[in-house]
Amino acid sequence: MRNMQHVGGPLRRMLPRAQLLAAGRTTIFKRFAFAGRPEKVEQKLNQARALPTTPARTRFAPSPTGYLHLGSLRTALFNYLLAKATGGQFLLRLEDTDQVSNIPSYLSDAEQRLYEDMKWAGLQWDEGPDIGGEFGPYKQSDRLPIYRQHVKELLDQDKAYRCFCSPERLDEIKKLAMANGEEMTGYDGHCSHIPVPESERRAASGEAHCVRFKTHGSSGNFKPLFSDLVYGAYKPPPGSVDDFIIMKRDGFPTYHFANVVDDHLMEITHVIRGAEWLVSTPRHVGLYDAFGWKSPTFAHVGLLTDQNKQKLSKRHGDIDIASYRNKGYLPEGLLNYVVLLGWSPGKGTKGTSEVMDLQQMVEKFHLRFTRGDIRVSNKLDFLNNKHKSKFLAQSPEDLQAQVVPPLALAIRNLEKERDHLSTGPAPPQLSENIDNDNVAATLGQFVPAMATAGDDAAGLDYNAAYIGKVFELDQKTYVNAASYVKRTRYLFWTVPTELYRQTLHEGLRDVRCLFVRSPAAAAAENGAMEHQHTDSEMDAAGIAGLFADALRDIPADESSWTKECLEEVLNPLIKSIYGMRTSPETEEPWGFHMLRWFLCALQPGPALIPSMVVLGKTETMNRIQRAIDSIA
């Protein structure tokens, strides 16, 4: 026992003193190290997975090599929740020293977009590049002197060395190792033997070099012990960690080095990140040990895969967070969706409902994550809908403000498509069963309200107030912007004459004529059929004329052209119209069926009379006239 050192902390374990000294540790730090029977290990892990009792400092540390996507939003969210659940701080740090030269120009707005996307999601950070903080700067490219000073510290202690190998030589040794069938193709340690004075002289004369970490220390002993909260004890396969680069030839630190230095200096206590970083963590722990620093607690969460168990890729446009916003999903819905990818409130103690806003997630948070790959679920629409309903009940104006911009975007996309079709090749044959791809081909011009100037204040091409009215009309059915615009398209666009013709033919198939009840029949109790001989036989144009006559006298102003007034005038007329049977598909009374034809060529959509209110008198009357004209 003399050679063993007691390691404090919640999970005590004896570590060989030699090992600690080899790692250059003068102080003994609390750390987790699990050994023993699997069930015991699991038990210990479970204890470690309890929330810390002191405030956690966590960070989200993206590189500007892509936009925020589902996986990174989830990482940010877990870190946010841990900080907030323990009364700690959540930091944003931009890791922009590695690969910067490889960032394609279309990503030049990545930093700006990161802030926008995070704010949209509602994950406000306590310290960060844009707002500063006690431990700044928070952009790694602004911290270069700090990394240089720390590299020097390791060089001075013989824990790092300069490597003058040319890229060609490094390529060569890699190829050779591969040709020999060696699994590990890392650095061969060539420059580790250069005497320090020579190394210094060569560096001073300006010879290009990088700096490598002496992974195996002077004792050749490299056993970075760490236990991951998700995956348990993790040891790299022997020989898998070479003398890795900490400072590149261009004077920039590598990700591994800058990440460790910053996590230490910024006093990060917990690192939750994607499982792709698990294999890198022994290097990080090696660096913490070399500096004599305590490493944070790590939790590597399972990678997200698609339904075919393939890794979700950043390049997949659909998983970019802004694309969810543009589609009209609510941040609450999206956050709720991602929090359930590898975590569940069910294992907590405070209720198991999966529908949660951010505050409820904070309240229910714990560190028991699912181990292994996580297949993304299809709960997004369901959860988004739940949050939409909650919003509708609590603050409908806020909901509308969030939904109008994506609706405007969906309208613009469809309008572009429509434009393209009308100027491009002949539109596909119209059909009553309009499928998704065909929608643009079934649209007329914009209704006048849409053609009026856009709302500059809201940064929209179109009239935001009008779009808001259309949203209010049928908000209960809203799932996302594109599907909503499709469903309500005839509130934004007129009905083309050709569609009137075709749908009339389809819609009135099998019915020879419609009847309008005589006033005597309408007054009688016992149904229309007995009164056919006194009722007027009418064709579609005749019935359209009746509607036009009934509506003509209602003034067009908003206080007259109301739902109540329209119902009063139209309901008796609608009731008086009958055919041989109810309408074929909708089973709605023939009067309504005809009204649906005038207004939207029989396409399903929001309630008709409220739609007429939104369209206004002029457009409604125009539609009835165009419908009549289409019959001729």
What is the binding site for ligand GLU (CB under 6 A)?
A: 61-63, 95, 255, 259, 273, 277
Could you say which of 314, 347, 390, 575 is catalytic? 314
CB of 259 to ligand GLU, least distance (A): 5
In the complex with ligand GLU, which residue's Cβ is closer, 59 or 418? 59
In the complex with ligand GLU, which residue's Cβ is closer, 212 or 300? 300
- Going by C-alpha positions, the residue among 11, 1, 2, 3 that lies closest to residue 225 is 11
Which tokens go with 360? 């409820």
Which DSSP category does 23 fall into?
Answer: T
Exposure b/e, 416-427, CB count within 10 A at least 16 = b: ebbeebeeeeeb
Other beta carbons less than 10 A from residue 218's beta carbon: 11
One DSSP character per residue, 297-337 reads EEEEEPPEE-TTSPBPPTT-GGGBHHHHHHTT--HHHHHHH
What are the backbone dihedrals phi and psi of residue 493, each rounded to the nearest 5 degrees, phi first?
Answer: -120, 155
* C-alpha angle 572-577-581 in degrees, rounded to nearest 5: 135
- Going by C-alpha positions, the residue among 316, 301, 309, 173 that lies closest to residue 230 is 301
In the complex with ligand GLU, which residue's Cβ is closer, 62 or 286? 62
Catalytic annotation present for 314: yes
CB of 60 to ligand GLU, least distance (A): 7
- Going by C-alpha positions, the residue among 57, 73, 58, 80 that lies closest to residue 116 is 73
Other beta carbons less than 10 A from residue 359's beta carbon: 9
In the complex with ligand GLU, which residue's Cβ is closer, 62 or 605? 62
CB of 493 to ligand GLU, least distance (A): 44
CB of 492 to ligand GLU, least distance (A): 41
Which tokens go with 102? 């490889």
Which tokens go with 84? 């907030």
CA 44 to chain centre: 34
CB of 87 to ligand GLU, least distance (A): 22
In the complex with ligand GLU, which residue's Cβ is closer, 61 or 290? 61
In the complex with ligand GLU, which residue's Cβ is closer, 342 or 468? 342
CB of 97 to ligand GLU, least distance (A): 10
- Going by C-alpha positions, the residue among 171, 166, 172, 168 that lies closest to residue 191 is 166
Residues annotated catalytic, as ranges: 314
